Each structure stands twice: as C-alpha cells, then as structure tokens.
Amino acid sequence: MRKVNWKLALKISGVLLCAFIFILFAVLILQNDLNPLALDIAARDFCYDIRGEKYGFCYWFFRLITEFGNFYVIGLIVIVMIVWTKCDYRAILLMLGLFCSVLLNIALKGMYMRERPFADLRWMNESSTSFPSGHSAAVGFLYPFIIYVVFHTNIHLFVKRILYGVCIVLIVLVMFSRMILGVHYLSDVLAGLAVGIMVSCVFMQLYKVCVRYDFMTVGLFEKIKSDRKN
C-alpha cells in the first residue's frame, strides 16, 4: 500500500481552501455589483468605531504596520534574504514569488475594478482599485514563505519560534491595518490573503524541487567568489 504524503496533501488542501475563499468572495462581489457585502459593512463599522480620531495612536501605529506589506519594507526584507543566503535558490524563489504575486494581483484588480471605501473616511491615499488587497496578497506570500524557509534552516529552535510568531502577527496586523486605514473592505483583504498563500504554496513546492535537484543551492555570490579564485 502506497504511503500517503501528508505534507503534500496538506499543501494541496491549503491551496484548494484559498482558491475556494477567493472564488467565493469574487462571485459574491460580482453578484452584489461590486458593492460592499453585509460582512464588509459590519467589519468596516467595527474598525471605524475603534480607531478613534485621525492622527491618534491607531493612525500612527497602523500607518507603520501597513508598511510591512509595502514595497520599501518588502524590498529591505528581500535584500536581507539575498545577503543571508548569498543569493541562492531561496532568495531567487522569494523574488520570483513576489513578482508573480504582484502581477497576479494587478491582473485581478484590473478585472474587478472595485472602488475603495468612501474617500472621506480614508486615512491614506491609494490610487489603485480595491479587490483584492495588494498588501494582503504580498504578506500572504512573503511571510508564509519566510516561515517555510526558516523551518528548513538549521538555526536555534527559540529563534525559529520568534520568527514564526513575528510573521504570523505581521500577516494579521497588516490585513487589519488596511481596514483601519479605510482603504479596503474585509472581502478585499481575505481574497488578497488567499491569492498570496496560493502563490506561496506553489513556491514552497519549487523550493523542494530546487533542493532535490541541487539547483542554485550554492549562492550566486559564493559561485562568483569561487570562480574568481579558480
């Protein structure tokens, strides 16, 4: 009897669940003529009730938090990954995955053209459309992939657990920040997260392929250094 690959089955189940979540919201939004769903309105009202006045604590805290799903902070994380891995397959997969996640999100935004929440209630300016959330898609890919890389890296267990916790907290807070700042609905951030996780699962499998076939397991910087010595 063939042994079941539970890890692969779990990843496939995760991808299917994320696909279901995205399709569910995509269909519901289309049926509602791109208007906010009842769930969106309830979540929006809750966020607006608790956020207080603009330029208060919530404003500055979540303006900072939302940057962890933005180009600048993500770019810094990519640079750290490149330096740490000496630009091996892990850094390359991270960059390719982010690129795919961004392209897919741009394509989906162009398809749906959903308007963002009321401009008067926004705490920051955004020019693109609302569905799905680009920040949520970015953190949905980036931080689960970092968790996967850390899990397969030989570092102290305590450090691993800290990194797991930081990544999970950042995913939740970045998603929440998009609603607190008034630039997304709940359905936007959940759909964006689903897109990001689907892309992340694909690149986790590519990670295993690289390890299996010894592709780019020696960092590009190390290879250049070795070639110069020879």
Query: Contact at 8 Å (CB) between 202 and 144?
Result: no
Catalytic residue among 184, 192, 203, 204: 184
Which long-range contacts (C-beta less than 8 Å, at least 24 apart) are formed by 56-65?
A: 58/180, 59/123, 62/123, 62/173, 62/176, 62/177, 62/180, 62/181, 63/123, 63/124, 63/177, 63/181, 65/170, 65/173, 65/174, 65/176, 65/177
135 is catalytic: yes
- Name 19's Cβ contacts closer than 8 Å, sequence gap at least 6: 194, 198
Tokens read off for 19: 């696909």
Catalytic residue among 11, 109, 135, 178: 135
Query: Contact at 8 Å (CB) between 183 and 10?
Result: no
Secondary structure class of 109 (helix, strand, coil): helix
Give the separation between CA 220 and CA 206, rounded to whole angstroms: 18
Cite the active site residues: 135, 184
